[in-house]
């Protein structure tokens, strides 16, 4: 009889150990799944991410002389005030024009304001302040590569205009609760390769439009 009791006790201990091991394995599997499903998109292209952070720092510091070195040597850089890229109206600036335009302080037409249709007539610095680095994009809520997180009622034609390019998007979902997310902001930096290096060909500012 004692032998039977001993055998039962051993079986109970083995069963408890197996259950504990199974539970531990399941917990590890759940943890693994959670790690593989982050809130933010996976950033695979570290080159573009690093390049974007460098350019955003230059924009924040208004270091346009350094910025000029990243502008595409042939295509220049196109400035789009809204998500829809207007290839007929948007201004293209070459690297060697940048500093002269800042020094001249001349007002130029960059397109039309959403809602009113009035001309966007600003100096280059005014344009940078209103339609490029208007918020602290270097601290963006999310940064994505070749993927737009911003959702608005304006057509996003980036892949149509730049079919062979890559881009990053720095995105804020909003700033004040009373606007229910309609005050979101996004800045897309578009890159093309030239001579084995990636250069800036587009700076696209995006926000909610009417």
pTM: 0.78
On the 0-12 / 13-18 / 19+ scale of CB atoms within 10 A, 182 is exposed
Half-sphere exposure of 73 (CA within 13 A, CB side): 6
Does position 36 have pLDDT exceeding 80, yes or no?
no
Higher model confidence: residue 43 or residue 32? 43
So what's the pLDDT on residue 11?
A: 45
Instruction: Please check whether residues 163 and 61 belong to one and the same domain.
Output: yes
Q: For residues 210 and 207, what is the distance between their CA atoms, to the nearest angstrom?
A: 10
Instruction: Please check whether residues 88 and 9 belong to one and the same domain.
Output: no
Does position 44 have pLDDT exceeding 80, yes or no?
no
Tell me what the mean pLDDT of segment 73-97 comes to.
96
So what's the pLDDT on residue 155?
A: 85
Instruction: Please check whether residues 58 and 162 belong to one and the same domain.
Output: yes
Instruction: Please check whether residues 184 and 138 belong to one and the same domain.
Output: yes
Token pair, residue 45, equals 């292209």
Instruction: Please check whether residues 63 and 15 belong to one and the same domain.
Output: no
H-only helix segments in the chain: 2-35, 46-61, 64-68, 95-104, 124-131, 158-161
CA angle 143, 149, 154 (to 5 degrees): 130
Instruction: Please check whether residues 16 and 83 belong to one and the same domain.
Output: no
* The total number of structural domains that make up the chain: 2
Instruction: Please check whether residues 80 and 175 belong to one and the same domain.
Output: yes
Tell me what the mean pLDDT of segment 109-118 comes to.
94
CATH number for the domain harbouring residue 85: 3.10.450
Instruction: Please check whether residues 106 and 127 belong to one and the same domain.
Output: yes
Tell me what the mean pLDDT of segment 113-132 comes to.
96
Q: For residues 126 and 76, what is the distance between their CA atoms, to the nearest angstrom?
A: 20
SS3 161: helix
Q: For residues 182 and 184, what is the distance between their CA atoms, to the nearest angstrom?
A: 6
Instruction: Please check whether residues 175 and 196 belong to one and the same domain.
Output: yes
SS3 30: helix
Does position 188 have pLDDT exceeding 70, yes or no?
yes
pLDDT in tens, 73-84: 999 999 999 999
Assign 210 a pLDDT band (cuts: 50, 70, 90). Answer: confident
Q: How far apart are the first and last CA of the chain?
A: 86
**Residue range(s) defining the domain that contains residue 196:** 46-207
So what's the pLDDT on residue 126?
A: 97
So what's the pLDDT on residue 17?
A: 46
Instruction: Please check whether residues 66 and 139 belong to one and the same domain.
Output: yes
Instruction: Please check whether residues 53 and 24 belong to one and the same domain.
Output: no
């Amino acid at each position: 009889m004692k032998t039977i009791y001993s055998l039962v006790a051993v079986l109970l201990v083995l069963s408890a150990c197996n259950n504990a091991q199974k539970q531990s394995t399941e917990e590890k599997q759940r943890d693994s799944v959670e790690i593989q499903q982050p809130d933010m998109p996976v950033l695979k292209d570290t080159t573009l991410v690093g390049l974007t952070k460098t350019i955003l720092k230059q924009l924040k510091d208004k270091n346009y002389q350094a910025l000029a070195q990243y502008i595409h040597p042939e295509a220049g850089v196109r400035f789009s005030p809204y998500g829809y890229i207007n290839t007929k109206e948007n201004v293209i600036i070459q690297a060697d024009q940048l500093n002269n335009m800042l020094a001249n302080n001349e007002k130029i037409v960059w397109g039309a304001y959403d809602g009113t249709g009035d001309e966007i007539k600003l100096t280059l610095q005014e344009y940078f302040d209103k339609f490029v680095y208007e918020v602290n994009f270097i601290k963006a809520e999310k940064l994505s590569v070749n993927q737009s997180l911003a959702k608005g009622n304006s057509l996003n034609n980036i892949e149509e205009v730049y079919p062979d390019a890559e881009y990053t998007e720095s995105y804020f979902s909003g700033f004040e609760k009373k606007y229910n997310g309609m005050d979101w902001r996004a800045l897309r930096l578009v890159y093309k390769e030239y001579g084995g290096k990636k250069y800036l060909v587009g700076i696209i500012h995006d926000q909610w439009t009417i």
